[in-house]
Structure 1
Amino acid sequence: MSLNRQSLIEEIKLVGNKIEEKKYDIAREMAEDRDSDTDQALEIRVKIVHIIADSFDQGQDSEIMDRITEWGKMTGELAITYGVALDESLKSVSNIRVILGKNLEEIVQTNKLSIETVFEVTRKIDRLLDQAVYAYSTTYVKSYKEIIDKAKEDFLTLSAPVVPILDGIAVLPIIGGIDTDRADVLLQTALRESAQRDLSHLFIDLSGVAVVDTMVAHYIFKIIQSLELVGVRTVLAGIRPEVAQTMVTLGINFSQVKTYSTMQQALSRHMTSEILIK
């Protein structure tokens, strides 16, 4: 015989009360390694059990979903902070389901609750845990991406050092490949450092660039043009024969730019020139 609506509500509320009473015991059961468990980790688990217990009180669905979402975001950020792998932390969600299921079974048997109550409570728990996993995963991935992007930005910045050698003269060594992101960093760094150091000449060393294709040559030409607009003369060094041949083949006009096969050659020629003496 099916329960009437009021009886179902009362039984569901009873389950919530019992879970609330046992929340610390349930949270301790969830620990995969109790010997290394911390008070902070325990309180985080207690919080989700508390939210689930509160969900069995009627009329709070939207508030409960907001709270479980915030819990998921918080734990996702903490996982990134403490270097917890995503797959490892998601395993704990399965453990939460198992422990809650075990406690729910005991509550149902002890209080002789109806099958309707079991189904309703199970649906609520699954919905909340699914939302927690979603919030946790999206926050984790977003935070991880932000860290990767920041690391990439730092790397690109460090990979574009402007090294002063004399008053008004500096060298920009380029090592490795050049893509759109790195080209932007090289351009911004060259312009910023030229202004800050009041440069008149900037030597760009290409000896560490393995491949010069149309895109790379275009970026280099763009940097040269931009520097000329702010009054900085550019000298290209480290032009290997195959790189020179590629530039000629691509049809990009570097005729107005001084080019040398090695940085040593470029410096020795220009250190005694009238332009640099002035």
Structure 2
Amino acid sequence: MKMMVQLEYFVFFQKCLAEDVDELTDRIFKLSEDRYKEELEALTDEQLEQSRFIVRELFETIAKTMLYIEKSNEVAQEWGEQIGKHSVAQGGDLTEALSNISIYKEVLWMYIEEKSRGTNYEFKQIVEVITRIDDIFNHIIYGFSLSFAQEEDRILKEYEEKYLKLSTPIVPIKDDTAILPIIGDIDQKRADVIMDETLKEASALNLDLLIIDLSGVYDVNNSFMGHLYRLIDSLELLGITPILSGMRPDLTMEAAKLGLSTSKKKVITRSSLKQAIELLEKPLLK
């Protein structure tokens, strides 16, 4: 960390903070007991000890970084992220955690005011110190909040992946035959999930035939047909015969306009799922 702040009043308050970390921590918990007694009583001794450790580290981080211009905010944010990850792992709540920040600031501002008594520092200089500490606080809060946002994003992606897997079930109808109903639009992400899950399940079931039913497809375009043909190619490489059902006139016409007619791949197609299932009784597919 370069470009250290050399102003006397910054150095004075930094030294005070570094020396009084334990006292500040005690003040935080005393004020918390007055305002959130029930919440603190619900914590185990281990959780209380961990909370004290985090609060102590908070003041140590502020004391260590307040004299530096370069890198200090980055260090503060990184520390906030680390504490945020710990809080997430412990099932912490972001709203509750952020509400405690007001207590930390209240204690700090009161402490700065106390330490400024008996000094010759001007009000403007005191405000500069408070502004610097507040800036560090803001970066800590940002890093802390970022950890929660990343966790929410991870959970959302996890649920989305589970949903996508559940939305493409293979339904066995015979020992060697199954149906894959495709419903809705197919984007790249869903196409990848359909490809992976279908090939895994088809191999696990030891299928010979797979009916891909397109009755529930909303729209067809170049991208959709590309994904579909990629799936068909992969199935054929596994020795599985694909049959397309639900090829409505609009889908067939659109595919033809795009130059992606299924006839070019010699794929068996039927206009309805009923016709595709009836086709299974013919000697050609037995």
Which band: TM-score by shorter chain?
A: 0.7 to 0.9
Partner of 1:48: 55
Matched, 1:25 2:56: no
Alignment of 1:1-278 (within 5 A): 9=11, 12-18=14-20, 20-29=22-31, 33-37=36-40, 38-39=42-43, 40=47, 43-44=50-51, 47-52=54-59, 56=63, 69-76=78-85, 78-79=87-88, 82=91, 84-85=93-94, 89-90=97-98, 92-109=100-117, 112-115=118-121, 118=126, 121-122=129-130, 125-255=133-263, 256-270=266-280, 272-277=281-286
Contact 1:201 1:232 (8 Å CA) reproduced: yes
Unaligned runs of 5+ in 2: 1-5
User: SS of 1:207's equivalent?
Assistant: strand
Identity of aligned residues (%): 26
- Secondary structure of 2:212's counterpart equals strand
Q: Deviations over 1:66-85 (max 9, x none)?
A: 58733542235525863735
**TM-score, reference length from structure 1:** 0.78
Q: Work out the number of aligned pairs and report it.
A: 270
Compared CA separation, residues 138 and 5, structure 1 to 2 (3 A): closer
Cα distance in 1 for partners of 2:74, 2:243 equals: 62
After superposition, the Cα gap between the structure-2 partners of 1:6 and 1:89, relative to the gap in structure 1 and judged at 3 Å, is closer
Does the 8 Å contact 2:247/2:269 carry over to 1?
A: yes
Q: Which amino acid aligns with 1:260?
A: R
Q: TM-score, normalised by structure 2?
A: 0.76
- What's the offset of the Cα at 1:241? 2.7
Which runs of 5 or more structure 1 residues have no equivalent in the other structure? none
CA contact (8 A) 1:213 1:246 kept: yes
Q: How much does 1:261 deviate?
A: 2.2
Give yes or no for contact 1:69–1:132 (8 Å, CA) kept in 2. Answer: yes
Task: Decide which moves more: 92-101 or 54-63.
Answer: 54-63
- Whole-angstrom distance in 2 between the partners of 1:58 and 1:252: 62
> Aligned equivalents of 1:77 and 1:58: distance in 2?
21
Against the structure 1 CA distance between its residues 20 and 125, is the aligned structure 2 distance closer, same or farther, given a 3 Å change threshold? farther
